[in-house]
Amino acid sequence: MRTRFAIPKTAIAALILLAPLGACSTVREAVKGPDLAPVGYPAALAPIDQKILAVSTQPTANSLWRTGARTFFNDQRAQHVGDILTVLINIDDSAKTSNSTSSSRTSGVTAGIPHLLGLESSLGKILPGGFDPANALSTNSKTSNDGAGAVNRQEKISLTIAAVVSAVLANGNLVIQGTQEVRTNTEVRQLTVAGIVRPEDISSSNTILHTQIAEARINYGGRGDISRVQKTPAGQSLLEKFSPF
């Protein structure tokens, strides 16, 4: 028994109306350039609505309380969901590897049947002419392999980005993530960072190095006219990926 699902006409009409929007968005980006993403909040890991306890503090004469201060004795470093800290990214890595392999092999086998229960003379009648019992089997093989490879890579990135604490783990470690976008003409440079940090690694100036971020995910890229020209066409990329040759 087959079950058929009927698609409502309203749904089909909605799809027809929404289909040109993707094309319009692509054409608009090609003409005017990419748009910056809206300012967001890590809602996937933390709720947007944060509970804030309002405390009224009025400075008085000879008071140590500073106007605009958030707290007096508490640590000002990021420690709660929604707090902001600065990530210092200073990547200066280089790697150089060179490998070379060479192998060769030669083998040969010669076998004869001088005596086989007195039937060695009768084998000549069964086997093709020119059969020699002393040289019944002879094989030889030769293989060789040469390979060489080299890797020479150098990366250098020096950036600073503000990240938001999106979650606090059971052991007190902080999950952070941040995004930064800068548009120049028709090119958008995008930097994202995410990972897990220990509160004790955050400096007194509320900064942390990228080397102190566990499970660090740092992405530096962009989108726009220049990035589109430098990118390999999708058809060529698929052909190179699935080509068996």
Q: How many CB atoms lie within 10 A of CB 174?
A: 24
Range scoring the smallest mean pLDDT among 53-67, 90-104, 125-139, 146-160: 53-67
What pLDDT shows up at residue 213? 93
What's the rounded Cα separation, in Å, for the pair 134 and 166? 83
Tokens of 40: 């967001």
What pLDDT shows up at residue 178? 92
How many Å separate Cα 196 from the centre of its chain?
Answer: 17
Tokens of 67: 């106007």
The pTM (predicted TM-score) of the whole model is 0.55
Average pLDDT over every residue of 144-152? 87
In the block, which residue shows the tokens 């960072």?
193
CB 200 within 8 A of CB 211: no
Please, is 216 exposed, middle or buried when counting C-beta atoms within 10 Å of its C-beta (0-12, 13-18, 19+)?
middle
Tokens of 138: 């002879």
In the block, which residue shows the tokens 């944060």?
50
pLDDT category, 47, cuts 50, 70, 90?
Answer: very low
- Choose between 164 and 112: higher pLDDT: 164
Please, is 175 exposed, middle or buried when counting C-beta atoms within 10 Å of its C-beta (0-12, 13-18, 19+)?
buried
List pLDDT tens digits, range 79-104: 889 899 999 999 888 888 999 998 88
Write out the E strands in the chain.
Answer: 84-111, 137-168, 174-184, 187-197, 207-209, 214-224
Q: Is 155 helix (H, G, I), strand (E, B) or coil?
A: strand
Q: How many CB atoms lie within 10 A of CB 87?
A: 24
Tokens of 211: 């080397």
Average pLDDT over every residue of 159-183? 92
